[in-house]
Amino acid sequence: MRIRNVKNAKEILENSKVIVKDVNNCKDNLHILFGNDNPIHLEIGMGKGDFLLAMSKMYPDINFIGIERYDSIVCRACVKLEGVSNVKILVMDARNILDVIGKEIDTLYLNFSDPWPKKRQIKRRLTSSNFLSLYDSIFTGKPHIIMKTDNKDLFAYSLTSLSEYGYTLKNVSLDLEHSDIVSPRTEYQMKFKDKEYINYLEAVKEK
């Protein structure tokens, strides 16, 4: 993926109220960011923010946090999300999630994650057992993951990985666009929805 630089990116990030400036002091205090005790949902790899913007409008009584590591992408999300009271952005690498988030998340979204197709890259997939073990420590109750992808190999891998890790799969669809499942589109999804089948799953694990 080619990431284009954004003019005045540093200034945008410094002045944005949606970005959490000090991620190192977030752990076990995420509710303070929002000023309420509403449930918190997390999207890893939030991209340019279209999904979270739509979700924030659909569910005003839920708080949403997006994780994204690339400043240029975050800048574009900031423009869309500035002023939205129930969304915050953490600029960080998801591999460091336990340094920032405690048992505070109700639902995790993995939308069009990097498939890391090579065998040596398996541990970097967000549905690998490496990441699933990290997620165990961020959920308030039963682990709950919702995933969308147009990559058939990643989806097949994820179905197996989640099942082997103890998750129960439900609401599985190989063609989300023509299903009854309600899930706002990401910017990637809007661009390719007519070219690729979108795979979807929801998974829950007993603790």
Q: Which of 89, 52, 56, 55 is nearest to 74 (CA)?
A: 89
Candidates 114, 136, 175, 180; catalytic one: 114
- Contact yes or no for 45/112 (Cβ under 8 A): yes
Q: Which residues contact 64 (CB under 8 A, 6 or more apart)?
A: 40, 41, 42, 43, 52, 55, 56, 86, 87, 88
Distance from C-alpha of 186 to C-alpha of 43, rounded to nearest angstrom? 11
The string of DSSP codes covering 16-50 is: -SSB-S-GGG-TT-HHHHHTS---EEEEES-TTSH
> Which DSSP string corresponds to 59-104?
-TTSEEEEEE--HHHHHHHHHHHTT-TTEEEEES-GGGGGGT--S-
Among residues 24, 38, 161, which one has the least CA distance to residue 106? 38
Structure tokens at 13: 């990030």
Catalytic residue list contains 114? yes
Residues labelled as active-site residues: 114
